[in-house]
Structure 1
Amino acid sequence: MQLRKKFICSYLLLATASVGAHESTELSAVEVRARAENLEGIAAAGSEGVVSSQRLAAVPILRPGEALEMVPGLIVTQHAGDGKANQYFLRGFNLDHGTDFATFVGGVPVNMPTHAHGQGYTDLNFLIPELVDRIAFRKGPYFAEEGDFASAGAAHIDYFRRMDASLAQITLGEKGYARSLLAGSPEVGGGNLLYGLELFHNDGPWAVPENYRKFSGVLRYSQGTRNDGFSLTGMAYRGQWTSTDQIAQRAIDSGLVGRFGTLDPTTGGETSRFSLSGEWAKRWASAQTKANVWWLKSSLDLWSNFQYCLNDYARSGTCDTGDQFKQGERRQAGGFALSHTVFDRWGAFEVENRIGLQGRIDRLYPVGLYATAGRQTVGTVREDRVTQRSLGFWAQNETRWTSWFRSIHGLRADAYDFDIDASLASNSGRASDQMVTPKLALIWGPWQKTELYLNYGHGFHSNDARGTTITVDPADGTTPVQRVKPLVRTRGYEIGLRSEPLPGWRSTVSLWQLDAASELLFVGDAGTTEASRPSRRRGVEWTNLYVLADWLAIDADLAWSHARFRDHNPVVGDHIPGAVTTTANIGLTLDHLGPWFGALRLRYFGPRPLVEDDSVRSRASALTNLRVGYKIDQRTQLALDVYNLFDRQANDIEYWYDSQLRGETAASFDRHVHPTEPRTLRLTLSHRF
């Protein structure tokens, strides 16, 4: 297959037929190219797309969660140990660990509601990137099929059903890095049995070795395709690590610790995730039915220390135990999703009517916050038993009015029910909420390989169940705390344009705005709720792919956003802390240079306000990653990945808050940082058999 075809297949950011009901057949690379050049009837928004397995295979990925950086405008970082969920940024949001961006793997949701550490916690460390078939993404609350956490966007990651060949791979790197992978998909009983087994260890550049050890496994049996067939998938993951959390800048400046040092060598975590899921799809001449059912069991024990001695001094006037705390939970969850699509004609108009039903239940026994010292529990702040249920119904109509104009109308209704049995009786109770969210898309074109999109829609995210029944601060049992609404509404608008201005150059532009009624959230570090203000974010995204030759392609994703609180406060300020303004992800990919291949990528992560009055801002960072590969033969290749090629001393994350170091007489507000890893080399040997 020529590289031009491969690139166009790999960069399916402009060819989105595989999202939703439009995907009626499995396309070959040549067919994908043809559909990419004929955009009619494919996408519902300019910011909708698909990233293929070839796209992922072409770029160096430092952490599994960075697979989501292939979604234009999305930045993935880390503020603690690599075993913890990543930090995500998109469209002016500091998404924390996943709130407002919904993620699914193999039909199983990754976001965890009412999580011990953060609402919508999205831990992708179980992901095996080499097994990813595609990432279908959508941005904005314009899609009836997407529910909780999807206001900023959603990504559906799916594994292969069949691999072209079995894969044995080993990667070695600096600082104790070792990773091995064995995967394949033999034919069994008229279908394919996909398997993948990953073993991993890494110490990282930290003064206290991370000693991150993990096991990940996938087993999937499938027959047919994702549109006319079935699959049964099991996934397993277990990890444990020692964490170097963000550090007060003054501790580094004074020489108390080095840049990669720690102020608490016992922080870290242990986690596990096991899931089973089944997917079934049937395509008839004029209809499509899909069903999905899933179950998961997960656990987390996370020890952190962000303020060092602040609370300990306040309690006892000394720093005997410090401010370490543990967030822990044991969870079982299950759910389903059903959809039915009818392809019909209403008079002279082609129509597509879709309905769907989704449900989920989470049981946490328990979910808690504990005071600890050296990972030993010294007190319980709160420990709850929580049951959370949700049910969503959606309907959508797509009508093609003319050869150049179509519309998509959708309506979604969601109902939530929370039952909390708290360790403090006054914080126990039940809560419920419902929300109806309309959706609309108008699409014109294509004309001269150009299509225009106009989108409008309402969305929502759920709040932590514990915040819906809380009445007093669990730390002292007396201070009144205001409850939060279970569901928070969002409203979005978008104008999108996708075009092929020159042969081989595909480009999309999206202008968007997103309003949130409130940014209420549950602060897991304190066990209380924190009320924030209504907000407005707007911005522009520009995504490009230019295939210059059969051996060379350039891609560039550029994004700018403006985020402010809507209730103007001249005293406090209107900036939203952590809201990134500018991002860029630019890549150069080469292949068919004899046995050589490679990639060069630049990621720019712009400055963010750290406080509401914008008096303190984070520093920008620009990181470059390089891959150089050599094909030993048709089945064996060697690749060298160099991360942070120019060894920039940047920060993955920056915060502004108060803390107190051991020996200090008072607390100080300061910049708290988690450094980007220095230049890192990893060598991978891959063999297909």
Structure 2
Amino acid sequence: MKQTLTLFLLLFNLNLFAQKLEGTITDTNKNPIEGGFILNKRIDKHSHSNKLGYFVLEKVSTGDTLEISCMGFKTQKIVYQPAQKFLKIVLEESIFQLNEVTISPEVNAQSIISKIDLKTYPVNSSQEILRKVPGLFIGQHAGGGKAEQLFLRGFDLDHGTDINISVDGMPVNMVSHAHGQGYADLHFLIPETIEKIDYGKGPYFANKGNLTTAGYVEFQTKERIKESQVSVNAGMFNTFRTMALVNLLGQQEKQSAYIASEYLYSDGPFISPQKFNRVNVMGKYALELPNQHKINFSIAYFSSKWNASGQVPQRAIDEGLITRFGAIDDKEGGNTSRTNVNFQHTKKVGESLLIKNTAYYSHYNFELYSNFTFFLKDSINGDQIKQKESRDILGMQSEIHKYYTLPSGNLSWQSGVGFRYDAVNDIELSHTLNRTTILERLKFGNVKETNAFGFTGIEYHRGNWLINPALRLDYFNFNYLDKLNNNQVQSVAKVIASPKLNIIYNPDHDIQLFFKAGKGFHSNDTRVSSLASNSKQVLPAAYGADLGMIWKPQSRLILNMALWYLHLDQEFVYVGDEAVIEASGKSVRKGLDVGVRYQINNWLFFNADMTNTLARSIDEPEGANYIPLAPDFTLTGGLSVTHPSGFSGGLRVRHLGNRAANEDYSIVAKGYTVTDANVNYKFKKVNFGLMAENLFNVKWNETQFATESRLQNEANAVEEIHFTPGFPFFLKATVGISL
């Protein structure tokens, strides 16, 4: 009886003196750590740090042991004392271990997957950047300098039509672009500067607007670097790359600055050398001011030139006219450049309010020469076309994050406003000869496009549940001056509302169940929108839903799965012989995504991602309702090694299944399976690397189109597969030095 009374009094006192504990978690560079896991070992209750690194842990009593952990950092243990009203926890980096990962109750917990992949599979080239998104495939079909063609969730995204891509809050996509809506050239991003890759699939995120139908990808560059680096890379096909990262201010507490630069040259495996060269220069400065202000300023310049052999018809190879790496018209190619200026300001008010402002400016030039149909329209001069533009982009976004502690749970509120303005001068589509002579201007004018927007939403945490309703409102003004039609001005303005709802259930820190629903949209090209009266022709909506889970059944195993559905009010179809895209009817996509992340031992990791998708046009009859080039089945996976001895490397496999190249599946885009491998060894401050693309030298088609064309010796046109061959076995070596 006495023991029972003593136990009762002890529990009573613990509850009586239990209190709320607040704090922040940062790294050694004072950067907030989002997703830090704080566990009270006595009562097995936990909390997570938010974007500010801020956390609240309820029912903490004197003597409780608190365990603080986060992926990629050393775990800390703290014994709580009453004097500790506010904890400022600093975590040190460590070798990544999967057992450190906890599944936090956040709307986009799948960002955990990108963090794991970036830690275990570092980016080795600019083409690998977008491959970090599970299920996203890329294809190059114009000499290396053109933005890659993208595929995700049953979409042939062209070069970015239905995926929103940004870097440090600055949009990458080019709306109303000379080559295609949403054109997203990411080649200005130097891989070694990437700090974080965040992505989400579907139209469920209120702070992501135009083009966020299949999803979004957001890159964040490093705020500071620990040490300067120089690397040289050389390989087959006259390939050469050099990169430098230079720390300008050392390890100062309040400020940091660095310069990054890259030069790349390659002829590729083609009979006509690509002569592809690219120059990148970027500088970034960060300053921490009094009263919890911080500013980031970056400026970057990118320039690229190349030749291309284009997409070749299969019959020309079968007839022996050319080889796989030959060309019907080797006068394709182009040049492009972009200058970016980006400013970010954050202000913390207390420990629960964050204000973030982003402003950016870009100047962009683009000139591309292509020939998709050869001599179909002009039997004498050929069908070469030029697409050209000069563009200025100005934009800003201001957002506020406010966190509240309520008796019934925690509440966070996020709102934002912003705008983007594109001024495109002399946007052109012309029929040309040998890149020098304009035979006929097909389209020529100026585009002015404005997008103003606002969004708001809350995240309400109660127990194991998180509910996130949100709303986004976008206003567009499209204006086109047609220089081929007496400078006639065409304009239209439209508004679209996009509601979202996310419901998350986390019974513990090893599993999350989620339901997501929302409306998104993509804007159509100004040259089309300015003539339209129906809002669906201007801002066609997308309606989506996801049902899935993220599960950690063992300490070193993470599984994720989602069943999803997406309906589009309007579908885009690529028209190869005109080098434009045009709109058709409604479409539906549905599918299953599955992913696995497994740490076999302390230095060996395995991952795999599978997608199975059905994509169909609704308004077309059965059997003629396939969406051309929409992926049906994809599979990626591999092994990665990070050994304490200094050895690292990986083996990666990607498979894209056969798919319809036209609406009735009478023409097939053949699938492929390609294996890449790399091995690296770091000795003190020197790193040696060897990378092999297409390790088994398979013949594969990187991009494919069903195109009607005519060769110069042919009497009639033929519609069949035109393709760009994927690289054969390609070996590169790297030497890098940390200074």
The answer to whether the superposition gives a TM-score over 0.5 is yes
Change (3 A) 1:418 1:494: same
**Equivalent residue number for residue 391 of structure 1:** 452
Letter in 2 for 1:146: K
1:304 to 370, 377, 390: 370
8 Å CA contact retained: 1:334, 1:362: yes
Cα separation, 2, equivalents of 1:16 and 1:138: 17
Alignment partners' CA distance in 1, 2:182 and 2:166: 12
Q: 1:410 to 1:35 in 2, by over 3 A?
A: farther
Distance (whole Å) between structure 2 residues aligned to residue 520 and residue 259 of structure 1: 30
Whether the 8 Å CA contact 1:628–1:641 is kept in 2: the answer is: yes
Cα offset for 1:526? 3.1
In 2: Cα distance, 1:265 partner to 1:348 partner: 68
Measured in 2, the distance between the counterparts of 1:668 and 1:55 equals 45
Partner of 2:554: 502
> Aligned to 2:174, what secondary structure does the other structure show?
coil
1:210 matches 2:274: yes
Deviation of 1:108 after TM superposition, in Å, equals 1.4
Summarize deviations over 1:502-523 as a string: whole Å, max 9, x none. 1200111111111100014786
SS at match of 1:485: helix
Q: How far, CA to CA, are the matches of 2:641 and 2:340 in structure 1?
A: 38
Aligned to 2:44: none
Distance of 2:691 and 2:517 partners within structure 1? 42
Gaps of 5+ in 1: 1-14, 313-318, 472-480
Shift of 1:433: 0.9
Q: State whether residues 660 and 666 of structure 1, in contact with CA within 8 Å, keep that contact through their aligned partners in structure 2.
A: yes
Q: Please tell me the residue identity of whatever aligns with 2:261.
A: L
1:518 to 570, 594, 600: 570
Letter in 2 for 1:623: V
Q: What CA deviation, in whole Å up to 9, does each residue of 1:52-91 have, x standing for no partner?
A: 4982784564x51331111111111112210000011000
Q: In the alignment, what sits opposite 1:239?
A: 304
The answer to whether the 8 Å contact 1:602/1:625 transfers is yes
1:267 counterpart = 2:267: no
Q: 1:624 aligns with which of 671, 675, 684?
A: 675
Tell me the distance in 2 between the aligned counterparts of 1:176 and 1:395: 52
Kindly indicate whether residue 73 of structure 2 is the aligned counterpart of residue 29 of structure 1.
yes
Distance 1:160 1:448 in 2: 29
Q: Once the two structures are aligned, what percentage of the paired residues are identical?
A: 28
Aligned to 2:599: 547
Task: Give the 5 Å matches for 1:287-302.
Answer: 287-302=353-368
The offset of 1:499, in angstroms, is 0.9
Displacement of 1:134 in angstroms is 1.0
Per the alignment, in what secondary structure is the counterpart of residue 540 of structure 2? strand
Aligned partners of 2:348 and 2:423: how far apart in 1? 35
Of residues 45-54 and 235-244 in structure 1, the stretch that sits farther from structure 2 once superposed is 45-54
User: How many Å separate the matches in 2 of 1:186 and 1:166?
Assistant: 9
| Alignment match, 2:348 | 283
Partner in structure 1 of residue 412 of structure 2: 352
Assess, with a 3 A threshold, how the Cα gap between structure 1 residues 50 and 137 changes in structure 2: closer, same or farther.
farther
- Structure 1 residues 363 and 651: alpha-carbon distance in aligned structure 2, compared to 1, 3 A threshold: same
Give the match's secondary structure for 1:366. Answer: strand
Cα distance, 1:412 vs structure 2: 0.4
Gaps of 5+ in 2: 1-33, 38-47, 55-69, 76-95
Q: Could you tell me how far 1:16 is from its partner in structure 2?
A: 6.5
Letter matched to residue 239 of structure 1:
S
Between the two structures, name the one with larger relative contact order (CA 8 Å, sep ≥ 6).
Answer: 1
- Whether the 8 Å CA contact 1:49–1:138 is kept in 2: the answer is no
Deviation string, structure 1 residues 102-127 (Cα, Å, up to 9, x no partner): 11112211000000001000111112
Residue of structure 2 equivalent to 1:39? 103
Q: Call closer, same or farther: CA 1:338–1:643 in 2, change over 3 Å.
A: same
Q: How far off its partner does 1:484 sit?
A: 7.2
**Residue of structure 1 equivalent to 2:118:** 55
DSSP-derived class of the 1:65 partner: helix
After TM superposition, give the deviation of residue 33 of structure 1 in Å. 6.6
Correspondence for 1:462 among 523, 526, 535:
523
User: How many angstroms apart in 2 are the aligned matches of 1:545 and 1:192?
Assistant: 35
Letter in 1 for 2:211: F
**Partner residue in 2 for 1:364:** 424
Map of 1:411 onto structure 2 = 471
In the alignment, structure 1 residue 493 sits paired with structure 2 residue 545 = yes
Residue 264 of structure 1 and its aligned partner are, at CA, apart by 0.9
Q: CA deviation at 1:320?
A: 2.2
Say whether the 8 Å CA contact 1:357–1:393 is kept in structure 2.
yes
Provide the residue aligned with 2:241 in structure 1: 179
Distance in 1 separating the partners of 2:113 and 2:700: 30
2:22 maps to none
Deviation at 1:663, TM superposition (A): 1.1
- Report the counterpart of residue 197 of structure 1 in structure 2: 261
The offset of 1:612, in angstroms, is: 1.2
Which of the numbers 120, 124, 133 marks the counterpart of 1:71?
133
The two structures, once aligned, show a CA RMSD in angstroms of 2.5
Per-residue deviation at 1:528?
A: 6.7
- Quote how far apart the aligned CAs of 1:48 are: 4.2
Q: Does the CA-based 8 Å contact 2:608-2:638 persist in structure 1?
A: yes
2:382 match: 322
Taking a change above 3 Å as real, the CA distance of residues 640 and 388 of structure 1, as seen in their structure-2 partners, is: same
Alpha-carbon offset, residue 594 of structure 1: 3.0
CA contact (8 A) 1:117 1:524 kept: no
User: Aligned match of 2:586 in 534, 537, 543?
Assistant: 534
Amino acid at match of 1:247: V
What is the CA–CA distance in structure 1 between the aligned matches of 2:576 and 2:724, rounded to whole Å?
A: 20
Task: State the 1:249 CA deviation.
Answer: 0.5
In structure 2, do the counterparts of structure 1 residues 49 and 94 end up closer, same or farther at CA, with 3 Å as the change threshold? farther
Matches within 5 A, 1:115-264: 115-187=177-249, 190-224=254-288, 229-264=294-329
Is the 2:160–2:184 contact (alpha carbons within 8 Å) kept by the matching residues of 1? yes
Could you report, residue by residue, the CA deviation over 1:39-58 in whole angstroms, capped at 9, with x for unpaired residues?
Answer: 232x3146444634982784
| Maintained 8 Å contact 1:232/1:278 | yes
Counterpart residue type for residue 502 of structure 1: Q
Q: What are the residue-to-residue correspondences of 1:601-680 with 2, within 5 Å?
A: 601-631=652-682, 633-680=683-730
- CA pair 306-373 structure 1, distance change in 2 beyond 3 A: same
Amino acid at match of 2:278: K
Q: Is 1:442 equivalent to 2:507 in the alignment?
A: no
Q: 1:7: which partner in 2?
A: none
Letter in 1 for 2:728: P
1:425 equivalent to 2:473? Answer no
User: Conserved in 1, the CA contact under 8 Å of 2:373 and 2:577?
Assistant: no
**Gap change, CA 1:272 and 1:662, over 3 Å in 2:** same
- Aligned AA (2:639): L
Q: TM-score, normalised by structure 2?
A: 0.84
Q: For the residues of structure 2 that align with 1:588 and 1:249, how far apart are their CA atoms?
A: 35
Provide the residue aligned with 2:172 in structure 1.
110
Taking the aligned partners of 2:188 and 2:274, their CA distance within structure 1 comes to 18
2: distance between equivalents of 1:489 and 1:459?
A: 6
Q: Does 1:578 align with 2:629?
A: yes
C-alpha spacing 1:563/1:554, structure 2 compared with 1 (3 Å): same
For residues 630-674 of structure 1, give each alpha carbon's deviation from its aligned partner in whole angstroms, at most 9, with x where no partner exists: 22x211011000000000101001111210001110101111111
Match of 2:737 in 1: 687
One-letter amino acid of the counterpart of residue 487, structure 1: L
Name the SS of the counterpart of 1:117 in structure 2. coil
Q: Matched residue of 1:462: which SS?
A: coil
Report if the CA contact (8 A) 2:98-2:556 is conserved: no
Instruction: After TM superposition, give the deviation of residue 281 of structure 1 in Å.
Output: 1.2
Q: Is the 8 A contact 1:467 1:529 kept in 2?
A: no
Whether the 8 Å contact between 1:333 and 1:361 is mirrored in structure 2 is: yes
